[in-house]
Amino acid sequence: MGYNEVDAVRLARLYGKIQNIMEIIDQIRQAANIVELASQYTTLKRAGRRHVGLCPFHSEKTPSFTLDDEKQLFHCFGCGTGGDVFTLVMEKENLSFPEAVRYLAEKYNIPLPEQKRFSSQNKKLGEEIINITEQALAHFRKNLHNTNEGKEALSYLNKRKISDETIQKLKIGYASNSWDDLLSYFRRKEILPKKLENAGLAIYHQKKNSFYDRFRGRIIFPIFTEYGKLVAFGGRSLFNAEPKYLNSPDTRIYSKGKLLYGLNFCKESISEKEEVILVEGYTDFISLFQAGIKNLAASLGTSLTPEQIDLAKRFARKKIVICFDGDTAGVKAASRGAALGIQKEIQTQVMKIPTGLDPDSYIKKYDVNSFINLKKTSLSGLDFLIENFSQGINLDIPEEKSRVAMNIADVLKSISNPIRRSEYIRHTCENLNIHENELRSMIKRDMSRSGEKEKVLFLPAEKILLEILFRDKGIASRIINFFKEDYFKGLKGEPIFEEIKKTYTKNKKIPDFHEFKENLDKSIYSALSEIQFGENIPHTFEEAQDCIDTLKDRSLEMKCAELDAQIKKLQRKGDYEKSNELLSQKFEIKKQLTLLSQRNQ
């Protein structure tokens, strides 16, 4: 099942029937212009009936990014990325398929049905969690302003120089220092504790067979998606409880390694400046945000993850600046973040906050101008890594220098862009005073160990059959009845043929090739994408049948080879009865091969 079917189901949960969603997807395909969309990311020139340009997915000097106006498809013959308008937007904007549908629908003024309201009789778990989370935030905000405890919390926030305006803007609240304040609030609404547990707001105590509030005596920072949907909370203890900062656990609607705190408030500024400053915690974000720095987001108090870097890249097209605490843990986390930024091939810088300070305390001790000036002295991500890996190391000792070089090589081997990687290698070698060839061979050795994938090559009959299946749905619907699982065993396209057969059996529909993107190995999908850019030579049913026969012939020959091996093994053991049975099977297969050969003469 590819993204059309899987995500149509997800979209249907929001907007209605799958049939309606598929109609909207078709409307978008008809309205969208892939040349216009791709022109947002690269400069295109017409070359015959196609357009070509430098690939927006990898760096290159010779254009290999090709668009077919008629088919509304793209393919890069350099990096292998390909697909349709949805794939293009998903890859460049780092969007899920439902998000890409919304993005394109808005761009081409195609109305989406209003989202279905929650059903009191049949609420889905995710919808329940959203509902409960929103009600919990209302309760936390009321606590902050309308209770004695809340007023003390408000006083604490004001002492931390967090203004009332910021509190309102960021929707900060307070969780009472009680084991069941939130549970009691929802109990009055006849909402069961189990549902609060599902939302990450309550914890089950097995020995007592009861629930208690997760957040107690804590300033509450609501966590939103980049689109402003409330999904979780972070809490800072006012009663010296451990941990000092507590986040919601992962739920049906929240995964903390995939979001950036404050991005919903700052994404426009980040997009405008094309760079983002990434800090660790809530108060770091709040202090900088309040000081007027708006191209900002926080990692929710954790080390940066690949998903968070990808999310940051969607809005910060040029640069990420990592600004973590100046202590040992902060430097370690900044190193991991810098390595990720380099591997994700975005310009990465690291600000060096003095030891003992964090962005929050730094800007309070000095001022926003000092922070801006400090940012100007940021190290490149690579220089920061070299400095950090060399800390406490005697580079005059070959073994220690080698260890530093190996650590850098481990980061650089993941860079796919050869020019970028080459420049990083050159810079590293200048800093460590080693020969480029030595570091290159180290990286090459690491890459070969990790096993870079070989280029996918379809068999000629396999390739032609795939062309027919995706280009002529009429022939495809007839030839699919001749499919046998054994014919495709061991082929590169085996998972494609299996999925086509399964989808057709279920829906009487031949899937589009774009629907395979999420379920295929990237190299196979790339090879499949490349097939779409062959010449549009008309095919016949007889050609398709010839391809099936060729693949059947191959399958039977493989069976004969397997039987030969088994027969020899049995004869060596003296088991002639069993070997004779297999000889009979082999004879039957040989008869089939003969008939097949005669038919194709």
- Do the domain assignments include residue 364? yes
At residue 284 the predicted structure's pLDDT band, cuts being 50, 70 and 90, is: very high
- For 389-401, the pLDDT digits (tens) are 998 888 889 889 9
Task: Please tell me whether residues 345 and 440 are part of one structural domain.
Answer: no
Check whether 546 has a pLDDT greater than 90. Answer: no
Residues 87 and 82: their CA atoms lie apart, in Å, by 7
- Side chain identity at residue 586, one-letter code: K
pLDDT, residue 116, reads 42
- State the DSSP H helix or E strand holding residue 424, giving kind and residue range, or none if neither: helix 418-432
The proportion of the chain whose per-residue pLDDT surpasses 70, expressed as a percent, equals 90
CA distances from 351 to 216, 286, 317, 348 (A): 34, 18, 19, 10
Mean pLDDT for the chain overall: 85
**pLDDT at residue 452, as a whole number:** 45
CATH classification at residue 77:
3.90.580.10
Q: Which residue, of 72, 107, 142, is where some domain finishes?
A: 107
114 lies in a domain? no
Domain that holds residue 352: 258-386
pLDDT of residue 393: 87
Helix (H, G, I), strand (E, B), or coil: what is residue 16? coil
Which of helix, strand or coil describes residue 576? helix
> According to the per-residue pLDDT averaged within each range, which of 7-16, 63-72, 319-328 is highest?
319-328
168 part of a folded domain: yes
- pLDDT tens-digit map of 501-526: 888 888 787 777 667 766 667 777 77
User: Is 112 inside any structural domain?
Assistant: no
Residues 223 and 320 in one domain: no
Q: What is the DSSP string of 325-380?
A: -SSHHHHHHHHHHHHHHHHTTSEEEE--PPTT--HHHHHHHS-HHHHHHHHHTPEE
Residue 45 lies in a domain: yes
> Over pLDDT 90: what percentage of the chain?
42
Let me know if residue 120 belongs to a domain.
no
Cα 31 from Cα 21, distance rounded (Å): 15
Per the domain annotation, does 113 fall within a domain?
Answer: no
Please check whether residues 329 and 233 belong to one and the same domain. no
436-449 pLDDT per residue, tens: 998 998 888 876 65
Instruction: Kindly give, in sequence order, each residue whose CB lies less than 8 Å from that of residue 570, ignoring residues fewer than 6 positions away.
Output: 576, 578, 579, 582
Are 214 and 279 in a shared domain?
no
Say if residue 267 is in the same domain as residue 202: no
Asked if the model's pLDDT at residue 1 lies above 60, the reply is no
Give the tens place of pLDDT for each residue, 197-249.
999 999 999 888 999 999 999 999 999 998 788 999 999 999 999 999 999 99
Overall average pLDDT of the 400-424 stretch: 89
Q: Are residues 382 and 397 in the same domain?
A: no
Q: Same structural domain for residues 465 and 439?
A: no
Helix, coil or strand: residue 589 = helix
Among 344, 362, 386, residue at a domain's last position:
386
Same domain, 54 and 76: yes
- Identify whether residues 410 and 464 lie together within a single domain: no
Domain identity same for 443 and 464: no
Show which of 449, 473, 496 is a domain's final residue. Answer: 449
- Domain-embedded: residue 438: yes
| Closest C-alpha to 77, from 47, 57, 95, 49 | 57
Residue located via tokens 């043929």:
497
* Number of domains composing the chain: 5
* 262 band by pLDDT with thresholds 50, 70 and 90: very high
* Residue whose entry in the numeric block shows the structure tokens 């998972």: 495
